[in-house]
Amino acid sequence: MLGVRVVKVGGAELDDAAWLGRFAAALATARPAVVVHGGGRRISAWQERLGLRVEKVNGVRVTTADVADVAHMVLCGPTQSDVVRSLRASGVDAVGVAGAEGYFTVELVDAARLGRVGRVTRVDVEGLHRLLAAGFTPVIAPPSVDERGEAVNVNADEAAATVAHALGAAELLFVSDVVGVLRDGRPLSSVSTGDIPQLVAQGVVTDGMVAKLEAAARSRVARVRIGDIHVLMDPDRGTLIVTEAVEAAA
Q: Give the pLDDT confidence score for residue 238 in this predicted structure.
A: 96
What mean pLDDT do residues 219-226 have? 91
The domain over range 5-249 is classified in CATH as 3.40.1160.10 = yes
Residue 151 banded pLDDT, cuts 50, 70, 90: very high
37/187 Cα distance (integer angstroms): 23
- Contact between 225 and 190 under an 8 Å Cβ cutoff? The reply is no
For residue 113, pLDDT over 90 is answered with yes
155/158 Cα distance (integer angstroms): 5
% residues pLDDT > 90 (the chain): 76
For residue 250, pLDDT over 80 is answered with no
What mean pLDDT do residues 176-204 have? 90
User: Could you give the 3-state DSSP secondary structure of residue 109?
Assistant: coil
Residue of 110, 96, 83, 93 whose CA lies nearest to 32: 93
Q: pTM, whole model, 2 decimals?
A: 0.92
What mean pLDDT do residues 165-173 have? 96
Residue 35's DSSP bridge partners are 7, 139
Residue 245 banded pLDDT, cuts 50, 70, 90: low
Distance set, CA 196 to CA 101, 161, 213 (Å): 34, 16, 7
Q: Over the range 33-72, which residues count as b (16 or more CB within 10 Å of their CB) and which as e?
A: bbbbbbbbbbbbebbeeeebeeeeeebbbbbeeebbbbbb
What mean pLDDT do residues 56-81 have? 94
pLDDT tens for 12-38 read 889 999 999 999 999 999 889 999 999
Residue 220 banded pLDDT, cuts 50, 70, 90: confident
Residue 2 banded pLDDT, cuts 50, 70, 90: low
Q: Give the pLDDT confidence score for residue 249 in this predicted structure.
A: 42
Q: Give kind and range of the element (H or E) at residue 45.
A: helix 40-49
User: Could you give the 3-state DSSP secondary structure of residue 152?
Assistant: strand
pLDDT tens for 48-61 read 999 999 999 877 89
Residue of 168, 154, 219 whose CA lies nearest to 193: 219
Q: Give the pLDDT confidence score for residue 127 in this predicted structure.
A: 98
For residue 166, pLDDT over 60 is answered with yes
Q: Give kind and range of the element (H or E) at residue 239.
A: strand 239-242
Q: Give the pLDDT confidence score for residue 244 in this predicted structure.
A: 66
177/190: higher pLDDT: 190
- Contact between 4 and 167 under an 8 Å Cβ cutoff? The reply is yes
179/26 Cα distance (integer angstroms): 15
Q: Give the pLDDT confidence score for residue 247 in this predicted structure.
A: 46
Residue 154's DSSP bridge partners are 118
Q: What is the mean pLDDT of the chain?
A: 92
Residue 206: Cβ within 10 Å count: 11
Residue 118 banded pLDDT, cuts 50, 70, 90: very high
Backbone angles phi, psi at 158, to 5 degrees: -65, -40
